[in-house]
Structure 1
Amino acid sequence: MKKRYIVFTLIVCGIIALIAYRISANSKINNPKNEKKTVNVMGVEGQVLEAQKFADNLTLSGTLEANEEIEIRSEISGIVESINFDEGAKVSKGQILFRVNDIELRAQLSKVQTAQQLASENQRRAKLLLEKQAISQEEFDVSKADFESARAESQLIAAQLSKTTVRAPFSGTIGLRSISKGTYVTPATPIANLVNTSQLKITFAIPEKYVSRMYAGSPLTFTTSNSKIVYNATIYAIEPQVDIATRTLKMRALADNKEGKLYPGTFANVTLPLETVNDALLVPTEALIPIQNGKKIFVSRGGKAKEVMVETGARTDSVARVLTGLKVGDTILTSGVMSLKNGTPVKVNLTN
């Protein structure tokens, strides 16, 4: 019995010793002092900054407008006697567009011209009588006033008569007509639109900070939403003051449209050249990280990522110009930048 107790005690002690040994061995293995430190190096893409030529352009939205545009109307009321234009056709300056019936005006003109002739004869006789002192000066003045009144009335009706024939005030394209032969028109009746599209105006507005760079004669280019063709235009007029509500300055440019490919009312994408920089530092837009106080970019220095605060200027769809914070020869990181932290070890794969 005593031997069993001794054997059992030895077995228990052995098990306890084995457990203690395993715990001690595991603690040594997991001890950080005995660990071999492993460093994760992040692979990223980058490029070495070089000075480049950069055209600093201002991109704006504008609207194409006809060089000249009016709504044709009749200055007098009456029935349309004839229509002398085709809808959508080209017309020349001075060309007759339509006529309003003038029978009543011609009759009135004939009547007042007869009265004018009589008043003229009465004035002539009165003058002869005045020279013979057969009538007073007052009587002569009355006859003279009658003649002047009759002549003025004749001129008035003649002017109204001339308005029965409506002519094109300038050359252009006439639109769709709103009348037919026999229509009774008044000065409030719209007839058709006449538009001169041989040249088009582009109206746009620029932010006030660029005002000092603008002047009449500045060239620009533009495209339209329905075409990729690049057209040229020249600024010819600038508003004398900045709009207080929008803080912009409105201006207009003139573009040739001899081929008739441009239409008034079309949206225009205007590109206004500001300056050309020969030593600009350009970075891909994806390399820039927006932060609360501006923008930052990561560069590679000593095998580690370092964040640098930068100030940017003009930009395009793919690149932005950096004004401060970088210099020629810096290696900027362009991929995986959102995962980087200051001091992260990096392996840079340089790209063009």
Structure 2
Amino acid sequence: MQMRKNLNRALRLQAFSILCLLGLAACGGSDDDGQMGGNEAAIVVGCVVDEASFSSAIEAVGTAYADEQTVLTAPVTERIERLYFNDGERVSEGAVIAQLSRGEESADLAAIEARARQAQQQLDRLEELSDRGFATRASLEEQIAARDAARADASAIRSRIGDRVIRAPFSGVLGLRTISEGAIVNAGSPIATLSDISRIKLDFTVPEQFLSSIEEGQPIEATAAAYPSELFRGQIDTIDPVVDPLSRSVTVRAVLPNPERRLRPGMLLSVDVVSEERRSLAVPETALIAQGDQQFVFRIDENGIARRTAIETGLRQDGQVEVLGGLQAGDRIVADGTVKVRDDSPVSANFPEETRRSGGGGGVGSGLEASGP
């Protein structure tokens, strides 16, 4: 009998415990959306939409080329009689670089010039005889032709002798000498490399989507690994009219002044194409919500309610995103804490910049603090 009483008491205690647990669960129930405390405002950091400076900087890597460069070669197979330059020497336009042997051509020229003089003397005698009526017109014309032929032969020999004197076609710097006097060179053999590096041509490629951001005369800045702390400035000279169909990029040529000859052909340079700076509306990157190819932010209305708003974005720079549409200056948005916010829900936003301007503390404001001005 006593055992039955103890069992009944234990069952009553167990049933009472279950009822208490059910009551506690009912007291802490959720709202219709299944969210605990559905009417509570999410605590976030806000900001006021304002303007910021943006500039389109296109980064690329380019190769330096001489303003003018050529390899001076031997026009004929001949022996080098004399060289008139040293390694790395600067020369002016028209300066003699090398002279090939021309002994045979000089002898031929002397013989032809003697024949031309003789033909001229014979012509003079025939002209005297013709004036007195003792020479025919045919003989006179034949002697004129002989004289002109001798003169043409002499001009040809002089041209061949001129080919054996190699001159600089423009002012520049000669490369390292790899040949010596007395060597026999074949036609087309290199004798010296001449480079004009008073200016440097810098070729680089940019993707086709940046074509609208570049134009001739646009300034650029370049840096070289050899001079990491030095900035070289120039401007775009030419834009290739053809886009590479494989890489979908276009070649751009810029020109950089190089009065101290610090830049050399073949160097690799990092390039920044500087575009005109502009001021546009901006929001922090942390405020963006990406959905597919669209961007959204939470705009806080005058009642402290967060409204999801689609915006059109532009450049990204220094943690800021350019806003091209969807917001106006002075709009208040959720800058940080978007993961805690639902569309059309209340928020309690703290605006650090307004707090600093007012000299107040950095506490979190209420829903009213997020209202409009």
Given the two structures, how large is their TM-score scaled by the length of structure 2? 0.76
1:323 corresponds to which letter in structure 2?
Answer: L
1:190 aligned partner, one-letter code: P
Flag the 1:100–1:290 CA change in 2: closer, same or farther, 3 A.
farther
Q: Give the conservation status (yes or no) of the 8 Å contact 2:205–2:250.
A: yes
User: Matched residue of 2:276: which SS?
Assistant: strand
Corresponding position of 1:83:
83
Aligned to 2:165: 165
The CA deviation string for residues 211-250 of structure 1, in whole angstroms up to 9 with x for no partner, is: 677665x3403122323433332444455x4437366665
- What TM-score does the superposition give when structure 1 sets the normalisation length? 0.80
Give the structure 1 partner of residue 312 of structure 2: 311
In structure 2, the residue matched to 1:24 is 19
Maintained 8 Å contact 2:90/2:171 = yes
C-alpha deviation, 1:158, in angstroms: 0.7
Q: Is the 8 A contact 2:218 2:275 kept in 1?
A: no
- 8 A contact 2:59–2:272 mirrored in 1: yes
Q: Tell me, yes or no, if the aligned pair for 2:76 and 2:188 is still in contact at 8 Å.
A: no
Shift of 1:255: 2.5
Instruction: Give the letter for the 2:281 counterpart.
Output: L
What pairs with 1:141-152 in structure 2 (closer than 5 Å)? 141-152=141-152
Q: Structure 1 residues 285-294 or 20-29, which shifts more?
A: 285-294
**Counterpart of 2:12 in structure 1: which amino acid?**
A
User: What is the aligned residue count?
Assistant: 343
2-structure distance, mates of 1:84, 1:195? 17
Between 105-114 and 308-317, report the one with greater CA deviation: 308-317
CA contact 1:222–1:268 (8 Å) conserved in 2: no
Q: Please tell me whether the aligned partners of residues 56 and 277 of structure 1 are also in contact (alpha carbons under 8 angstroms).
A: no
Alpha-carbon displacement from aligned partner over 1:83-129 (angstroms, at most 9, x marks no partner)? 22111222222222221111111111112112222222233334344
- How far did residue 174 of structure 1 move? 0.9
Paired residue type of 2:243: D
Residue 159 of structure 1: how far off its partner (Å): 1.5
Q: For the structure 1 residues 185 and 41, does the alpha-carbon distance in structure 2 shift closer, same or farther, using more than 3 Å as the test?
A: farther
Query: 1:208, 1:19 → 2: CA distance?
Result: 77
- Residue matched to 1:266: 267
Q: Show CA shifts across 1:120-166 (max 9, x none).
A: 22333343444455454443333222221211111111122122222
Q: Distance in 2 between matches of 1:235 and 1:35?
A: 65
**Conserved in 2, the CA contact under 8 Å of 1:71 and 1:193?**
yes
The amino acid of 1:27's aligned partner reads L
Partner of 1:14: 9
Give the corresponding residue for 1:350: 352
What is the distance in 1 between the residues matched to 2:174 and 2:348?
69
Which secondary structure does the structure 1 equivalent of 2:99 belong to? strand
Q: Structure 2 vs 1, CA of residues 266 and 143 (structure 1 numbering), >3 Å: closer, same or farther?
A: same
CA offsets 1:160-202 (integer angstroms, 9 cap, x no match): 2122222222221111122112221233111221111112223
For 2:350 and 2:277, locate their aligned partners in 1 and report how far apart those are by CA, in whole Å.
32
Q: Distance in 2 between matches of 1:317 and 1:106?
A: 74
